[in-house]
Structure 1
């Protein structure tokens, strides 16, 4: 109810300003101990990547890029939070405006460009937060780093977040950093994973504990790319897959205001593409590693559709912007009912 009353006001603001304001208001409500009266944590234990999650509904990366609002977001009932994308050095991202709502389609286009305050800032926030649940940290490369040197940036971030992350996401699928998606194909992917995984194994030995590592991919992959990535995931013992990031497709928004803006499209229109990619990976991976489904989940039914496509867990972002935090609990309840029906 509270978000339903607040949303018209927020939607009259510039989208990026509304995003920042919403997080600040959420943080104030958290510090005033007001959120516990509205949202509750629902238990639906889920084992994935050797981690025990309180429930399978998480927050997708991008909403809290710097880990500034971990404790406040945790109160919304998520089973886990993914923060970032973070880069080695702080960067401003792309020029504004860079965030656009397409209300008629329940969609968002963004070309943020990994705007963040740098990995050191994020790590400091994780160290001082009170939240004891699962935190995934999503890492990327700086825009000024040539794509052929991308491994250096990923390894730099990997080394710094390793002691503080429940799992680490390698983001090679944002369309808003020039040439980043080139890393999803051929020798570029093999060389990147080889370098990162070598250091990952070394860190596990140095620290005496293993932090799972997952890869986040785009919804715009060809069949050949899906085949190749799936084999690389297996060959390099990657622990999981997040499918998918935003799309470059404009199907469903091409005739709407802002539909021709550059950037990645998220929300309702990406749901079908995301599900198709999940189904393809599920078929090729044959259960060898788990899939986390994200993209186009704006109802409990769509959450279950992701699970049916082959995802073990899901993440929310754009759907929550339109439907509010109650979507978290609705998705948990729907997945619980689906599990019960499968066990009968």
Structure 2
């Protein structure tokens, strides 16, 4: 089946869980052990494991994802201006590598629509922690990005539990240039002003060199952000097992999944060394098993997110991660 069609069908099934009145029942079977709870960003997370941005672009599946056992759901990436994203096909599986290439291009219905959905979900109890990942609208020039991000922050900060500033997707022209400290500083100032007391984090690319990673991490601390999310997808294609012709046929886009594991772990360690001990660092990239999540926590991650392995593991993935974590020694979760 076409990967994007399969994704939409999966989202429809997950959305159906609460619509059929099954959310509480399913959650009973997936509820994380209380020992997994994490306090960070001034919030209580039932589990350190959550869904990365990209799965629920329009805040349609928050309740269903909570029912499946995830501790938090990061919606988006959301843009101030609704947009269709890049032309199809734009999502490709690399099955031998347990990976995905995507060039979705921030397809979403806009920050105003997302804010209404998040507002409704945030009123529910109990529920997952809700993060809102915001990015630049494609029709907006890079030099006008600050006002664009400001608008999304204005709409979503009052309803989300935290904001994630995405300046690292490879699928929006010019976006990654915003990671340059001279451009990133004023952008973060604007988002922080709109966010008020809502925690703000910045999401960085794995393709930055180590010095740049450290620089962004230190800038985040200096600006008063609440955390760093490391990492986004990569434009690299090194070390893949999939036939080169298949990879080349997929074309441009961000690579996620197992091939990103080693670099995501490296970036996590660089960020952790550059920020205070109690600073929130969310690790993303190449996470598949409970052992992978435990490894990230042991390396200094406060929280861990996944997405690509969800496509391969299926609806029991979060439950399996949580059970595996609960069975590990407490020291592995420090």
TM-score normalised by structure 1 residue count? 0.89
2:94 counterpart residue number: 102
2:71 counterpart residue number: 79
CA distance in 1, matches of 2:254, 2:158: 31
- Measured at CA, do residues 293 and 342 of structure 1 come closer, stay the same or move farther in structure 2, by a change above 3 Å? closer
Question: In the alignment, does 2:7 pair up with 1:41?
Answer: no
Question: How large is the RMSD of aligned CA atoms in angstroms?
Answer: 1.9
- Give the one of 231, 241, 247 matched to 2:228: 241
* Residue ranges of structure 2 left out of the alignment (5+ in a row): none
CA distance in 1, matches of 2:332, 2:257: 28
| Structure 1 stretches of at least 4 aligned residues deviating more than 6 Å after TM superposition | none
- Give the one of 171, 175, 178 matched to 1:180: 175
In the alignment of these two chains, the number of paired residues is 324
2:115 counterpart residue number: 123
TM-score normalised by structure 2 residue count? 0.91
Question: In the alignment, does 2:212 pair up with 1:225?
Answer: yes
Listed as ranges, the matches of 1:1-16 within 5 Å are 13-16=1-4
The Cα shift of 1:34 comes to: 4.6
SS for the counterpart of 1:85 is strand
CA distance in 1, matches of 2:20, 2:332: 41
The Cα shift of 1:288 comes to: 5.1
- Measured at CA, do residues 339 and 159 of structure 1 come closer, stay the same or move farther in structure 2, by a change above 3 Å? farther
CA distance in 2, matches of 1:57, 1:113: 25
Cα pair 2:169 2:232 within 8 Å, conserved: yes
The Cα shift of 1:128 comes to: 2.5
Cα pair 2:26 2:68 within 8 Å, conserved: no
- Measured at CA, do residues 177 and 342 of structure 1 come closer, stay the same or move farther in structure 2, by a change above 3 Å? closer
CA distance in 2, matches of 1:265, 1:184: 19
Listed as ranges, the matches of 1:1-344 within 5 Å are 13-34=1-22, 36-37=25-26, 39-42=29-32, 43=34, 44-129=36-121, 130=124, 132-200=127-195, 204=196, 210-253=197-240, 255-256=243-244, 258-260=246-248, 261-287=251-277, 289-338=279-328, 340-341=330-331
Provide Cα deviations, 1:118-137, integer angstroms capped at 9, x if missing partner.
01111111222346331001
CA distance in 2, matches of 1:307, 1:150: 34
CA distance in 1, matches of 2:180, 2:162: 23
CA distance in 1, matches of 2:26, 2:226: 36
Provide Cα deviations, 1:69-109, integer angstroms capped at 9, x if missing partner.
22222111111111111111110000100000000000000
The Cα shift of 1:41 comes to: 1.4
* Residue ranges of structure 1 left out of the alignment (5+ in a row): 1-12, 205-209
CA distance in 1, matches of 2:331, 2:118: 38
Provide Cα deviations, 1:210-256, integer angstroms capped at 9, x if missing partner.
21110111111112211211221111011011111100111232634
